[in-house]
Amino acid sequence: MKEGFITPPNHTNFAAKKLFASMGKIIDGSIAYIELKGGGPTKKHTHEHNHLFIVTSGEAKVLLNDKEIIIKKDEAFLVNGKIPHSVWNNTDEETVMIGISVK
C-alpha cells in the first residue's frame, strides 16, 4: 500500500488518500502541465481568491513571500491568494498539477 493511503471498507485493489476537506466555495478548476524550469507568474502576484494546488505527478514549488513550500505527488496545499505567490516545477521532468480556485 502506498504511504498515507487506505483501502476503504468494501473496496478491492483501491487506494485512497484524502487531500482536503471543506474550505469554501469552488470558483473554478484547471489542470496544468508544467515543463522543466516552467512556472509562474514570473513576478509573484496576489488576488482575492485562494488556490488549492494538487500535484498528480512530479513536484511543485510554491514561492510565498520569503517562504518555499514543496508539494509532492499525491499532496495538496492551499495558497492564500492575498499572500504574494507563484508556482514552479521542482523536478527535472514535467509536473502535472490541478489548481482549484476557492473563496
| CATH number for position 63 | 2.60.120.10
Which has the closest alpha carbon to 76: 10, 21, 3, 12? 21
- pLDDT tens for 21-52 read 888 899 999 999 999 999 999 999 999 999 99
pLDDT at 100: 96
Residue 92 lies in a domain: yes
30 is a domain residue: yes
Number of folded domains in the chain?
A: 1
pLDDT at 101 over 80: yes
Assign 55 a pLDDT band (cuts: 50, 70, 90).
very high
Q: How far apart are CA 32 and CA 95, in angstroms?
A: 8
Residue 18 has pLDDT above 70, yes or no: yes
Local confidence band at 1 (pLDDT 50, 70, 90 cut-offs):
low
Q: Which residues pair with 53 in a beta bridge?
A: 77, 99
Does the residue 7 lie in any domain? no
Q: Look at residue 35 in the predicted model and tell me its pLDDT.
A: 97
Share of the chain above pLDDT 90, in %: 85
Q: Would residue 11 count as lying in a domain?
A: no
Tell whether 84 is covered by a domain: yes
Tell whether 68 is covered by a domain: yes
Residue 89 lies in a domain: yes
Range of the domain at 39: 26-102
Read off the pTM: 0.87
Residue 46 lies in a domain: yes
